[in-house]
Structure 1
Amino acid sequence: MKKLLFVLFLACGLASPAWAAVDINTASQSELEAVKGLGPAKARAIIEYREKHGPYRSIDDLTKVKGLGKASVAKLKHELAMGEVKPAEKPKK
């Protein structure tokens, strides 16, 4: 019986889709919409803010986006990630 339960447990674990956090600095509209709690309007707002102000420095920067407060960001943190943020290049003379 224990072997059967173990096999069922293992099969369920392998059958579930792989989970990967969404990078808020590179994600497309559809990738952001796939995050539970983000609809089209919030996904669009995240991208528009990123395009206007540059890459996010931390996940908490999402609180600066209209429609996303501290509570919303706290719920989303486990599904979001950030890639490496590169400093802005100095203009060439």
Structure 2
Amino acid sequence: MWVGAPGEDPPPGWVAGAPATGPGPDGDPGSQGAGSASAQAPTELLDLNTATQDDLEELPDVGPVTAGRILQWREEHGAFTAVAELLEVSGIGERTLEQLEPLVTVAG
């Protein structure tokens, strides 16, 4: 990340929006950290009806509190019948739903 003064040109080779390079928090040169949900896109859809707390926390904008609320909603209401039902979970709004829709399903 580069932050310059107003009017200052970025350093040579700097690309806006490019991922940071270098060692991750664990010191591994190829790692950006295990908690970076946006670093890797899942290869298959996550089923909201069978997902664990850890599974849910891997989703973008879903931390431990929101994951717990999703699980609590599922316990209180039964299986999700549509991904849009996530809007009924406290802390999930339209923007978060838009991010989650391509990543989750309600198959199970």
Considering the TM-score relative to the shorter chain, is it more than 0.5?
A: yes
Q: In the aligned structure 1, how far is the partner of 2:100 from the partner of 2:52?
A: 16
| Unmatched 5+ stretches in structure 2 | 1-39
**SS of 1:31's equivalent?**
helix
- Higher relative contact order, chain-length normalized (CA < 8 Å, sep 6+): 1
Aligned residue in 1 for 2:76: 52
TM-score (norm 1): 0.67
- For residues 57 and 17 of structure 1, do their structure 2 counterparts lie closer, same or farther at Cα, with a shift above 3 Å needed? closer
Letter in 2 for 1:70: E
Q: 1:34-73 maps to which residues of 2 (within 5 A)?
A: 34-73=58-97
Pairwise CA RMSD of aligned residues? 1.8
Q: Which runs of 4+ in 1 moved over 4 A?
A: none
| Unmatched 5+ stretches in structure 1 | 1-15, 85-93
Identity, in percent, stands at 29
Q: Which has the higher helix share?
A: 1
